[in-house]
Amino acid sequence: MRNAHMPLWFFGLCLSAEAQQRTVTLFDRLCEDWLFDTQPAPITRRLHVTLFPLGSFVDAPPGAVADACAAAGSIGGAAFDVSFDRAVNRRGTQIALTADKPCNALFSFQQKLCAALRHVGMRAVRGWTFDPHVTLRHRENILVDQPVQPVSWRVDEFVLIESLQGRTIHNHRRTWSLNSADLTVAA
């Protein structure tokens, strides 16, 4: 049985400050449109796209975090743009932003990160698949599925995040910068 307060670790993309504010404004509008409470509002520092969930390191071998960090630091990459333009209810339990069209640069970057992490023995949480989204609120069963004004930003870094479950706290443990050149993806 998992301890509700056990830290969980993951690699993610954080929204830019401007995208965070646009997301909160969008959330307020969705609350009005769909007549649900505006509280709790999204905590801007917690808004992210999960790239690779590592889970808990409670039973991990010594050096697992260092290995994950070394793998993440080995991939490099160029900055790229992402955009989320649809509000949906995911799995009947959360309101999230998704994208109608996949972002090839995002998928390419995520695959590079996965390959590097697997190379050092890291595995994603069992049953997890990459489905890019930004969660706005958990424990919400209102059926939402509508296009929204796009929330877009330039991804120029990714982060190792320690999530303190049950306490709505995300500690950014390490950040890796992406260079400003455009990421080109072969079609």
Tell me how far apart the alpha carbons of residues 177 and 181 are, in angstroms, rounded to a whole number.
12
Mean pLDDT of 177-185: 59
Say which residue, 7 or 159, is predicted with more confidence: 159
- The dihedral over CA atoms of 18, 142, 54, 153, expressed in degrees to the nearest 10, equals -20
pLDDT band with cut points at 50, 70 and 90 for residue 184: very low
Q: Residue 156 phi/psi, 5° resolution?
A: -125, 10
Residue 2 forms part of a structural domain:
no
Mean pLDDT of 103-115: 96
Percentage of the residues of the chain whose pLDDT score is greater than 70: 86
Angle of helix 104-119 relative to helix 64-75, nearest 10 degrees? 140
Scan for tokens 């509280």, then name that residue.
39
Chain centre to alpha carbon of residue 119: 22
- Model pTM above 0.75: yes
Q: For the chain, give the mean pLDDT.
A: 85
Residue 94 forms part of a structural domain:
yes
Expressed as residue numbers, the domain containing 151 is: 7-177
Scan for tokens 């989204």, then name that residue.
133
**CATH of residue 122:** 3.90.1140.10
Tell me how far apart the alpha carbons of residues 85 and 103 are, in angstroms, rounded to a whole number.
12
CA nearest 46: which of 177, 111, 110, 138?
138
For 23-51, how does the pLDDT look when each residue is reduced to its tens digit (9 = 90+)?
999 988 888 887 677 666 677 888 999 99
Residue 66 forms part of a structural domain:
yes
Domain total in the chain:
1
Residue 164 forms part of a structural domain:
yes
* Per-residue pLDDT at 153: 97
Residue 117 forms part of a structural domain:
yes
Residue 184 forms part of a structural domain:
no
